[in-house]
Chains A and B, each alone.
Chain A
């Protein structure tokens, strides 16, 4: 089964993770731009981060046979930092044009400040102009109110809610999100957010329409194999293969295909892995035997 993890911060992960993900059937990922755990002090470090998302990280993923896409945006936490926020906004139009950028994101609310609101609205407008879907982060604190405010901002922007995925939902927010016409993402994350068993229960209750799951794995205690693990939990709970495939693949593909930039997925599901194309020194492979698959 082909799996698409549509929210995973690979920049913070190792090659072991890539190997495990490929072995578990993950063939495509979306890496949203987000905050790196500590505040950035220069606009230039944002630009280099965006460049690594469309460059080096995409290359790293390709060596494990994984298609790497990204979303570009000013994250809500750093929207509160006046020394970088305006400068990052100026960078966005050019990086949203990059061919592997499939959405504006992740944007939305963190503390729900006036600055967050202002930059959230401005980026919704950018998404509309660039004809790109939107990936929205919802806050951990005061979450339900955050989701309500998120949906209000989406409605006010005039964007078709079918182009918006509101992420990190739970039992308390899923109905709000689905009723708005937006897609409802669920991050299966150890300890917080959502777990496998609860996710199975949500799918039993709400079905699969506009529902997605992802690992949201990052630099914290998280697990990039949460999507395959949740699919396995769905299978042992007796959910049908059709339901599983819709969650694993069809839904995230349908959402991000609206960008018209997922063209590779139709041609080859699995990039031919050719790790010979590396060299010693600072490459991903350091002396071990390369894996070589015939190109398909």
Chain B
């Protein structure tokens, strides 16, 4: 994935001061150490604003980057940094480097790491991290992996993907936001969703409307 359009869009929206700060910290993306990258990644939180990209994200959607309309400017900057920087690191250090950024981030940093996963080279190696993130209890972080993110449907094994869908139902997230869900529906997922509906009824609680939506989708083949 070419990070250039991301970086240009980001740099157009920050002050001259902050552009210099970034250039000092991450001199061409090639030469940044993991420590420098981490400092820049964290520091972007208060230097780049919280406004959402909205329509500005159209240019990114054309490149196949999903969900960027809901990113804020810090997320954009962080995704751009990570995509540009990761390939400069030794191959065998890359998975750990991404996981470090995730584990040591505050929750907005974690959101940005998850948003970038599908755009990173050889994304399947980040399955353990995505599965781990799917277990978080912090709503925004869970939404970052579950919603408008191409990664889960493309790469998560059935077990993790089904858990993610169930969790989205529990949390009350709109499951239409799970990218690629229709293609991942299986007999097992239907059964899990049906059991959940039974549990709710038995407890005298309402059944989320999204259960009917998932049950209306045809089963594909189990992977």
Query: Are A and B genuine complex partners?
Result: yes
Taking Cβ atoms with an 8 Å cutoff, the residues of A that contact B are 47, 51, 54-56, 58-59, 93-94, 97-100, 260-261, 263, 276-280, 282-283
Q: Are A99 and B45 in contact (CB under 8 A)?
A: yes
Q: Are B39 and A59 in contact (CB under 8 A)?
A: no
Decide: A94 near B39, CB < 8 A? Known: A99-B108, A279-B171.
yes
Residues of chain B within 8 A of A54, CB atoms compared: 106-107
Q: Are B45 and A276 in contact (CB under 8 A)?
A: no
Contact check: which of A94, A99, A100, A277 meets B38 at CB < 8 Å? A94
Beyond A97-B39, A100-B106, 19 additional pairs, beta carbon < 8 A: A51-B103, A55-B106, A55-B138, A59-B107, A59-B137, A59-B140, A94-B42, A97-B42, A97-B43, A97-B45, A98-B45, A99-B45, A261-B46, A277-B139, A277-B172, A277-B173, A279-B137, A280-B170, A282-B137
Decide: A58 near B106, CB < 8 A? Known: A279-B137, A282-B137, A283-B137.
yes
Q: How far is the CA of A55 from the CA of B39 in the complex (A)?
A: 17
Within B15-67, the residues touching A (CB, 8 Å) are: 38-39, 42-43, 45-46, 50
Q: Is B125 positioned at the interface, with any CB of A under 8 Å from its CB?
A: no
- In the complex, how many residue pairs between chain A and chain B have their CB atoms under 8 Å apart? 56
Q: How far is the CA of A280 from the CA of B172 in the complex (A)?
A: 12
CB distance from B154 to the nearest CB of A (A): 24
Residues of chain A within 8 A of B110, CB atoms compared: 55
Q: Is B104 positioned at the interface, with any CB of A under 8 Å from its CB?
A: yes
Residues of chain A within 8 A of B155, CB atoms compared: none
Q: Are A277 and B171 in contact (CB under 8 A)?
A: yes
Residues of chain A within 8 A of B137, CB atoms compared: 56, 59, 278-279, 282-283
Q: Is B167 positioned at the interface, with any CB of A under 8 Å from its CB?
A: yes
Q: How far is the CA of A156 from the CA of B138 in the complex (A)?
A: 43
B144-182 interface bits toward A, Cβ cutoff 8 Å, 1 = contact, 0 = none: 000000000000000000000001001111000000000
Decide: A276 near B46, CB < 8 A? Known: A54-B106, A55-B107, A100-B106.
no
19 contacts between A and B (CB under 8 A): A47-B104, A51-B106, A55-B106, A55-B110, A56-B138, A58-B107, A59-B107, A97-B39, A97-B43, A99-B45, A99-B106, A260-B46, A261-B46, A276-B171, A277-B171, A278-B137, A278-B139, A278-B171, A283-B137
Chain A interface mostly helix, strand, loop or mixed? loop
Q: How far is the CA of A55 from the CA of B43 in the complex (A)?
A: 16
Residues of chain B within 8 A of A51, CB atoms compared: 103-104, 106
- CB-nearest residue of chain B relative to A276? B172
The 9 closest A-B pairs by CB, nearest first: A279-B170, A99-B45, A277-B139, A54-B106, A99-B46, A276-B172, A97-B42, A59-B138, A97-B43
CB distance from A264 to the nearest CB of B (A): 9
B115-148 interface bits toward A, Cβ cutoff 8 Å, 1 = contact, 0 = none: 0000000000000000000000111100000000
Q: How far is the CA of A190 from the CA of B142 in the complex (A)?
A: 40
Residues of chain A within 8 A of B170, CB atoms compared: 279-280
- CB-nearest residue of chain B relative to A267? B50
Could you say which of B46, B106, B110, B137 has the most chain A C-beta atoms within 10 Å of its C-beta?
B106
Residues of chain A within 8 A of B140, CB atoms compared: 59
Q: Are A98 and B42 in contact (CB under 8 A)?
A: yes
Q: How far is the CA of A260 from the CA of B50 in the complex (A)?
A: 14
CB distance from A102 to the nearest CB of B (A): 10
Q: How far is the CA of A278 from the CA of B136 in the complex (A)?
A: 10
CB distance from A29 to the nearest CB of B (A): 16
CB distance from A258 to the nearest CB of B (A): 14
Residues of chain B within 8 A of A276, CB atoms compared: 171-172
- CB-nearest residue of chain B relative to A100? B106
Q: How far is the CA of A55 from the CA of B112 in the complex (A)?
A: 14
Residues of chain B within 8 A of A263, CB atoms compared: 50
- CB-nearest residue of chain B relative to A99? B45
CB distance from B170 to the nearest CB of A (A): 4
Q: How far is the CA of A279 from the CA of B103 in the complex (A)?
A: 22
- CB-nearest residue of chain B relative to A53? B106
CB distance from B19 to the nearest CB of A (A): 18
Decide: A279 near B167, CB < 8 A? Known: A94-B42, A97-B43.
yes
- CB-nearest residue of chain A relative to B74? A99
Q: How far is the CA of A266 from the CA of B192 in the complex (A)?
A: 45
Could you say which of A51, A99, A263 has the most chain B C-beta atoms within 10 Å of its C-beta?
A99
Q: How far is the CA of A56 from the CA of B104 in the complex (A)?
A: 12
- CB-nearest residue of chain B relative to A93? B39
Residues of chain A within 8 A of B139, CB atoms compared: 59, 277-278
Q: How far is the CA of A276 from the CA of B143 in the complex (A)?
A: 13
Q: How far is the CA of A58 from the CA of B141 in the complex (A)?
A: 13
Q: How far is the CA of A248 from the CA of B45 in the complex (A)?
A: 28
CB distance from B131 to the nearest CB of A (A): 16
CB distance from A19 to the nearest CB of B (A): 18
